[in-house]
Amino acid sequence: MSPTQLEALMERLFSPEAAPLLVALLAVLLGVVALVLVLARGSGRRDPRLDQLAGRLGQLVESQAVTANLVGERLQDQERQVTRVLEERIADLTRRLGEGLQRSSDRQAETMQDLRARLATIDAAQKTITDLSQQMAGLEDILSNKQARGALGQTQMEDLVRDILPPHAYRFQAKLGNGRIADCVLDLPNPPGLIAVDAKYPLESFRALRNARDEAERQKAGKAFAADVLKHVKDIAERYIIADETADSALMFLPAEAVYAELHASFPQVVDEAFRRRVWIVSPTTLMATLNTVRAILKDARMTEMAGIIRKETRALVEDVGRLDERVGNLARHFGQAVEDVRQIQISTEKIVRRGDRIEEVEFGGGEDADGGLLPPA
């Protein structure tokens, strides 16, 4: 047997799996030795071979005992090593399990927090929906009442006018010369002058038109809707277009874009009749555009007025400058006369100075002439 095979055999014999087999083999050998010794003693003869065999068996037993001790120690070492490895692995597993549980707990806590936040958001949304439902019910009650519906349209129109035009450009609930009271009057310079705005909301007939289940109901509701709108158009044309007081046109305000769109899409004859009566139908969007145009007109009129004032003040300024130039000319002439007077005064003073000098040169010691005059000194 080669050393390699012997080493392999020893490793297999001293492996933890072969330990029970070695112990059993050792027990068998001990039994055989005991049996041989008993037989040898019972025969009454001592055979040197038996003694030799017994010696060898004793050595083998001792060797096996040493081997068994080594195997036991090795097994104990391996057991301790395995126990340590198992303890380390169990500790690592426990640590990882704890960390996993901690992470899972943290995630669950975050999830619960997010869930609570979402539930709070849902509660707030539910409350908002409840409030909106109550408001929609209130709006439904308002829209079901003609007076309240008219007040809603008027309020919407007034808000648009206040947001776009300056305060001096409009009047609400303005009384006209015929005694009628318009929802709003736009004060524009002539032309066009005063423009009346009246809010109307034909909601019942529009709802009937929208809720029609067949063509017959739709035609019937359409006729009622067109009749309602035409009645409003005629009332506005008769009440709020007054010769020599207002413009030759007026505005009818529809607070709902859907009503305005349905009217222009399906009832062009009503729109044409309103044009013929010079009643312009407007929605919130088109009223905003109209009011912006009105604001531009007011701005242009204001600029024209300011330009007239500027021209008037410029003419007055030119006249003032002419008077100033005249007065400066007079002042210049006065200055020129003053300069001439000063020059003449200087000439007179020079003459006086020269005469004084000559007087000083006169000597009184010359005597008198035959006429009694003074003679010059010799």
Q: What is the dihedral sign for C-alpha 366, 368, 369, 371? A: positive
Please classify residue 199 by burial: count the beta carbons closer than 10 Å to its beta carbon, then call 0-12 exposed, 13-18 middle and 19+ buried: buried
Strands 170-175 and 181-187: antiparallel
| pLDDT in the model for residue 14 | 52
pLDDT in tens, 96-149: 888 888 888 888 888 888 888 888 888 888 888 877 766 655 545 544 555 555
Provide the mean pLDDT of the chain: 77
Is residue 305 over pLDDT 60? yes
Most confident range (mean pLDDT) of 16-25, 48-57, 92-101, 131-140 is: 92-101
* Radius of gyration, CA atoms only, the chain: 65
pLDDT in tens, 240-251: 988 888 888 899
| pLDDT in the model for residue 136 | 58
3-state secondary structure of 282: strand
Per-residue pLDDT, averaged over 74-85, amounts to 79
Who wins on pLDDT, 55 or 366? 55
| pLDDT in the model for residue 23 | 57
Beta-carbon count within 10 A of 255 CB: 22
Concatenated DSSP letters for 96-110?
HHHHHHHHHHHHHHH
- pTM for the predicted model, two decimal places: 0.45
Q: Please compute, for residue 116, the number of CA atoms within 13 A of its CA located in the half-sphere on the CB side.
A: 5
Is residue 292 over pLDDT 70? yes
Per-residue pLDDT, averaged over 152-177, amounts to 86
| pLDDT in the model for residue 234 | 92
| pLDDT in the model for residue 295 | 85
pLDDT in tens, 167-219: 888 899 888 888 888 889 988 887 778 889 988 878 778 888 888 888 888 88
